[in-house]
Copies of this chain bind each other. A is one copy, B any other.
Amino acid sequence: MEQERISDAVARRLPGYYRHLRELEAAGVTRLSSRELGERMGLTASQIRQDINRFGGFGQQGYGYHVPDLKRCIGEIMGLDREHAMVICGAGNIGRAVAHYPTFRNEGFRVLALFDVDEALVGQAVQGAPILHFSVFESFLAEHDIEILVIATPAAHARRALEMASAAGVRAAWNFAPVDLSVPEGMEIANVHLSDSLMSLSFRLHERDIRQGGASKRWIKE
C-alpha cells in the first residue's frame, strides 16, 4: 500500500506525453513504440518506458503502445477524466486569459467565477463565468465546492486570497502572482512565475554572446 511519491521530473513530463499522444491520436496513429515517441519528444526510449512503468504496464511486448489507450490512461493518471471546479482571483489580463484558454477548458477544468475589486469589471462575464466583487469571495467558496484557486492578483493580494481559499477547503492553487507562496497545510501549489522563463531565455542569449564574443566578461571561468 505504501508507495513512493512520483518524482517531480516525472510529474513534469506527464503533460508532455499527454499532449503528444493527443496529437498522434488526432493524426490517426494507433500504434507507437517507445522509440518513436522518444524521437518525437526528444527523450530516450528507455526514459519513456521507465516513466510509463511507474504507473503500470500499459504496453505490450513486440507491439508497443496503443495510442488511444495510453492517452486515456495518462489522462486518468492526471485526473482529466473528471471535472475540476475553479475560481479565478483577479480579472485583469492574466485572469481573463486563463478563463479563455481553450486547452484546459477542453480537459474538464471549469471556471465558475472570477473575482476582482474593480467595480468597472464586476458584472461582466468571461466565457460565461461572472466577474464578482471580491467581497463575496468567501461566501461564494462556502456555497460552492471549489477545487482549484487561480491566483491572478497583484503580488500583494496573493497570500490573502490563498488563505481564504485554504480555510474554505480549496485543495490547490495555481499561482500567477510573482511571489513564492508557501504551501498551506493540506494544499498543493503550483507557482507559475511567467517572467522566469523569459529571464532564463535572456540568460541563454547572454551566455551565448559571451562565448562567441570572447570571454571578456568575468563570470565565465576559464
Contact = CB atoms under 8 A, between A and B. Distances in A.
Interface of A: 1-3, 5-6, 11-12, 14-16, 18-20, 41-42, 54-56, 73, 76-80, 84, 92-94, 96-98, 100-101, 103-104, 107, 109, 147-148, 171-172, 174, 178, 180, 188-190, 192-209, 211, 214-215, 218-222
A190 B180 contact: no
A207 B174 contact: no
5 contacts: A1-B215, A11-B200, A12-B196, A84-B202, A101-B194
**Which of A41, A73, A221 has the largest number of chain B CB atoms within 10 A?**
A221
Given A15-B193, A208-B188, A201 B148 contact: yes
A80 B178 CA distance: 17
B207 A6 contact: yes
**Which of A203, A211, A219 has the largest number of chain B CB atoms within 10 A?**
A203
